[in-house]
Amino acid sequence: MTISRRILLGGALYGSAALAGSALAGSALAEAARAAASPSPAPSPRPPADVLVLVDPAAAPSFAAAAGRGGPVMLADGLPSLVAAAAWLGAEPHRRLVGLVSEAHGVLFRQMLPGAAAWLALGHHRVGGTGDHHSRHRLTVLPASRGIGRHLAAALAGEVADFSVTEAGIGAPDSTAGITALTPAASVRPIGWPARLGDLLGRVADGSWQPDPIASPRTYAGRGSRGPGRDVALASLVVAG
């Protein structure tokens, strides 16, 4: 499938797809009764997360390098790779998957996830076909990933003038707080939005990210004009098995 066909398929599928979430229910009273009846053992340390990076061949290699930190990388170059990635995620506990794929593959992959999978972050990205000259990012965050939009925007402000980043929780309306304009800082070394995003999502996946204490839906924007070129539509994700 060519890149242009992926983009068209992504738009068609994404337009009709709904973000699926899952809720975990538990009995707090029963848990408290059990805790009162017998002393609780000392908590065991949490095993480190095993992280796989799933990346579209058209996406910048810098995303995989930043997100995976030398770990395994799988190319999302067709349905077999999506099936294999979903199977890997559900095969063992403590596994995490970080991805940057076409919108079409993002929609399909969500349908393949095991029932126990838990979303940690989800993003939609529109990038100018001429490169990083302009980009639009909408990030849907959960408690484990709050604040990644603010940090991504702060980094991009030092690299490019034309961008926007919106961060919101699942089910939250678009920000009513207006648009926060960020002035570029000359001290930031330009490495591109894929590497910036990969670093943030990789930290969410391995548990090293320190989330914001409360949700604060907001849109951040640079000061520039949109560059020429056809947009490429990509989806990012962090999901726990």
Residue type, 211: P
pLDDT band at 198 (very low <50, low <70, confident <90, very high): very high
Instruction: Decide if pLDDT at 179 tops 70.
Output: no
Mean pLDDT of 34-60: 62
pLDDT digits (tens, 9 = 90+) for 104-129: 999 999 999 988 899 999 999 998 75
Mean pLDDT of 4-20: 35
Q: How far is CA 192 from CA 136, 160, 221, in A?
A: 13, 9, 16
The residue extents of the domains of the chain are 48-240
pLDDT band at 159 (very low <50, low <70, confident <90, very high): confident
Q: How far is CA 6 from CA 11, 15, 79, 113, in A?
A: 8, 14, 12, 21
pLDDT at 171: 55
Instruction: Decide if pLDDT at 98 tops 80.
Output: yes
Mean pLDDT of 198-220: 90
Which residues contact residue 53 at a Cβ distance below 8 angstroms, ignoring those fewer than 6 apart?
A: 63, 64, 67, 68, 71, 72, 73, 74, 97, 98, 99, 198, 202
CA 217 to chain centre: 16
Instruction: Decide if pLDDT at 54 tops 60.
Output: yes
pLDDT band at 182 (very low <50, low <70, confident <90, very high): low
